Amino acid sequence: MKCVRNGLRLALACGLAVLVAACATTAPPGPTSAVVTGTPAGMTGEAEAGVLSLVSSAFTEGGLIPSEFTCDGEGTSPMLQWTGAPEGTRSFALIVEDPDAPRGTFVHWVAYDIPPEVTTLAAGVPQARDTGGFRQGRNGAGNVGYIGPCPPAGEEHRYVFTLYALDDLLGLEPGVSVEELREAMEGRVLAQVQLVGRYSRTG
């Protein structure tokens, strides 16, 4: 009888051990940290960089540009921020244009030789040929720096902010035209992205 009891106890103990082991190997994984301190498995540096994107805290894609950034307000430049620069980026350039202007595309901003480590332009960039961090060219009014939207009364225009990631510094002097900038960028563009805002004025 003792042998039978001992055998049953041994069988129960072994069965319990097998059950515990099975549960340990099939239990779902627990929650992981949302903070990744390294490159995740299977993700290359290029994938981590992602696609070049451009946003503004002042307006969304296709949204209305607040009047403070136009001729009806202070006319200062809006904040811009970007991510996803491709590997090999050595500088950025920025062109802002109004393709709906009555006499053809009007240039609102030309900026270049923006350092590769810069990912944000704060609102209100000074209208200076050389900001100390990058250089600016001439807008459609012949002045250096940003000029705000100012469409004819009753018309809504689009304002296209185009950011270019380039493979080198351009080394252009301050105050160049948009045509000179585009010529210098030929063959050097690694990626580009656009952000479009809208603005209209009441009569």
Tokens of 64: 């209305």
Residue of 96, 203, 107, 95 whose CA lies nearest to 155: 203
**R_g of the chain, CA atoms, integer Å:** 29
Q: What pTM value is reported for the model?
A: 0.75
Domain assignment present for residue 42? The answer is no
Under DSSP, is residue 19 helix (H, G, I), strand (E, B) or coil?
A: helix
Output the domain CATH number for residue 159. Answer: 3.90.280.10
Under DSSP, is residue 4 helix (H, G, I), strand (E, B) or coil?
A: helix
**Residue 203's pLDDT band (cuts 50, 70, 90):** low
Is the pLDDT at 116 greater than 60? The verdict is yes
The count of domains in the chain is 1
Range of the domain at 58: 50-200
Domain assignment present for residue 83? The answer is yes
* pLDDT for res 157: 98
Cα–Cα distances (Å) from 173 to 55, 124, 127, 130, 190, in that order, read 28, 22, 15, 9, 22
Domain assignment present for residue 28? The answer is no
Domain assignment present for residue 35? The answer is no
Over range 162-190, report the average pLDDT.
Answer: 97
Q: Are 159 and 92 in contact (CB under 8 A)?
A: no
Domain assignment present for residue 152? The answer is yes
Tokens of 23: 């549960």
Domain assignment present for residue 98? The answer is yes
Domain assignment present for residue 179? The answer is yes
Domain assignment present for residue 18? The answer is no
